[in-house]
């Protein structure tokens, strides 16, 4: 489980904080029109929104929200719209918060779930000493239970997606209040309990809206041996490096999209020629930071690897996966396994191999909230597995994470087939 630095420095961006809508208060009747538009479009445009809840349950939730609109603020209503959309259980269908986020208080920390608990991965400068600390409680609620509570605000299909999306929502004060973790929607302080060596202590965090640019201190700023390969290669559509010590050709495949200046066909030629030149004995394809796109972009490389005489033995081709391996990237993971014989190492992917996808969107007329939604169902594999599961599961703990170690890549480079 490894993560690019920018995933944490600007992690809140993962839930679509765009500044596109007006700041004026919207009337209850305007919200009613928006919610009617939301319900009608989800019914009409989504291939099957009602897989985890019935139509009657969804309509009941809409009616309940409608009855409370006169008493709720815009921020509260936005959170309740999140809750409505989450009822579809589709991680491709969600809402972008628009300009409403500019007035929403958030915690001055960013968090990550590791194998040994929930930890602070970044903090604003006044709280930088908290980076690396384990969070035991959000308010009065145990940290892991808090993630379960907040999961009603977003669609997810498995635990990987829950802890990924939950890491962003759980630092947003209106989201905390929506699920009962905070008392006030506009709270300007919030308590957490952290593990401090052998003792516990409570920290009262001052919360603020993001209108003022804040200085963040990240876990990566404490790395003693420089930035690890996984972070250095996590930008752009794809990057390569030959690891001479292990005679491994490494490909960071970060986005399922052809690079205009170096299309896939040139990448395949480059990998083939350099593998011959350097006598590469193993091919590692890193999908850990890939959130999807067009799965077909990688198909020519998968075909080339399948036909390769150089990478033909068991363990010669390895793909790395994480909770961030999502949508088309998850499809590429099981295609590498099933078609090219790749060994998968890392975490389960952030979505199911059979999933809704191919995104479209519509806008709500008054709030200008943009609703992204699936338009198709993709049946990729037999059965209904909750994720693409690796053959070698590597769960990264806090010691490796905060030291900048990469046990997933280490496992790939040292892999020996049974």
Which tokens hold the place of 83?
């809750």
DSSP symbol at 179: T
CB 93 within 8 A of CB 46: yes
Residue 98, pLDDT score: 64
Residue 211, pLDDT score: 65
Instruction: Please list the ranges in the chain whose pLDDT falls under 50.
Output: 1-23
Which residue is it, tokens 């049946």?
379
- What's the CA gap between 203 and 335, in Å, rounded? 46
Which tokens hold the place of 7?
């995933």
204-227 pLDDT, tens digit per residue, is 999 987 766 678 999 998 898 889
Which residue is it, tokens 């078609």?
339
Which tokens hold the place of 418?
């049974």
- 282-286/134-138 β-pairing: unpaired
- What's the CA gap between 353 and 341, in Å, rounded? 17
* Closest alpha carbon to 187 in 110, 105, 71, 123: 105
CB 147 within 8 A of CB 133: no
Instruction: Report the interhelical angle of 328-340 vs 299-307 (nearest 10°).
Output: 20
Residue environment code for 249-270, b if the CB has 16+ CB neighbours within 10 A, otherwise e: bbbbbbbbebeeeeebeebeee
Q: How far does the chain reach from its first CA to its final CA, in angstroms?
A: 23
* Bridge partners, 286 (sequence order): 252, 320
Q: Spell out where 43-171 has E strands.
A: 94-96, 109-114, 117-124, 134-138, 141-142
Which residue is it, tokens 């809409």?
62
- What's the CA gap between 343 and 300, in Å, rounded? 19
Residue 418, pLDDT score: 79
- What's the CA gap between 89 and 258, in Å, rounded? 30
321-341 pLDDT, tens digit per residue, is 999 999 999 999 999 999 999
* Bridge partners, 411 (sequence order): none
Query: What are the C-alpha distances in Å from 311 to residues 40, 227, 256, 316, 343?
Result: 51, 29, 22, 5, 12
Domains along the chain?
6-220 (no CATH), 223-351+386-413 (3.90.226.10)
DSSP symbol at 228: -
Backbone angles phi, psi at 5, to 5 degrees: -55, -45
CA 379 to chain centre: 22
- 141-142/117-124 β-pairing: unpaired
């Amino acid at each position: 489980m490894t993560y690019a630095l920018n995933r944490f420095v600007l992690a809140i961006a993962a839930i679509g904080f765009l500044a596109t809508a007006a700041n004026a208060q919207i009337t209850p009747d305007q919200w009613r029109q928006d919610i009617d538009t939301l319900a009608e479009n989800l019914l009409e445009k989504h291939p099957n929104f009602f897989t985890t809840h019935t139509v009657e349950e969804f309509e009941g939730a809409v009616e309940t929200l409608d009855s409370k609109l006169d008493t709720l603020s815009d921020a509260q209503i936005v959170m309740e719209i999140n809750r409505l959309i989450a009822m579809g259980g589709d991680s491709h269908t969600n809402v972008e918060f628009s300009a409403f986020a500019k007035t929403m208080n958030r915690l001055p920390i960013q968090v990550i779930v590791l194998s040994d608990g929930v930890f602070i991965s970044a903090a604003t400068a006044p709280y930088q000493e908290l980076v690396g600390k384990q969070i035991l409680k959000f308010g009065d609620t145990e940290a892991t239970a808090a993630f379960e509570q907040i999961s009603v605000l977003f669609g997810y299909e498995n635990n990987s997606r829950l802890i990924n999306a939950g890491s962003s929502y759980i630092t947003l004060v209106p989201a905390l209040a929506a699920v009962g973790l905070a008392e006030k929607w506009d709270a300007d302080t919030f308590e957490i309990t952290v593990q401090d060596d052998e003792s516990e202590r409570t920290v009262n965090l001052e919360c603020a809206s993001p209108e003022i640019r804040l200085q963040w201190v990240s876990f990566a700023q404490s790395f003693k041996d420089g930035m690890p390969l996984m972070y250095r290669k996590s930008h752009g559509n794809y990057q390569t490096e030959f690891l001479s010590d292990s005679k491994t050709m490494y490909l960071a495949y970060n986005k399922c999209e052809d690079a205009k200046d170096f299309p896939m066909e040139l990448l395949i030629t480059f990998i083939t020629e350099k593998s011959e030149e350097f006598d590469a004995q193993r091919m590692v394809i890193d999908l850990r930071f890939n959130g999807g796109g067009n799965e077909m972009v990688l198909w020519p490389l998968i075909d080339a690897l399948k036909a390769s005489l150089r990478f033909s033995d068991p363990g010669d081709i390895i793909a790395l996966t994480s909770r961030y391996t999502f949508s088309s990237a998850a499809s590429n993971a099981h295609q590498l396994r099933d078609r090219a014989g790749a060994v998968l190492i890392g975490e389960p992917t952030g979505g199911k191999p059979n999933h809704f996808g191919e995104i479209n969107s519509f806008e709500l007329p008054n709030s200008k909230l943009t609703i992204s939604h699936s338009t198709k169902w993709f049946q990729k594999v037999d059965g209904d597995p909750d994720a693409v599961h690796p053959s070698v599961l590597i769960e990264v703990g806090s010691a490796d994470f905060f030291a900048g170690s990469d046990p997933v890549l280490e496992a790939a480079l040292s892999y020996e087939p049974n």
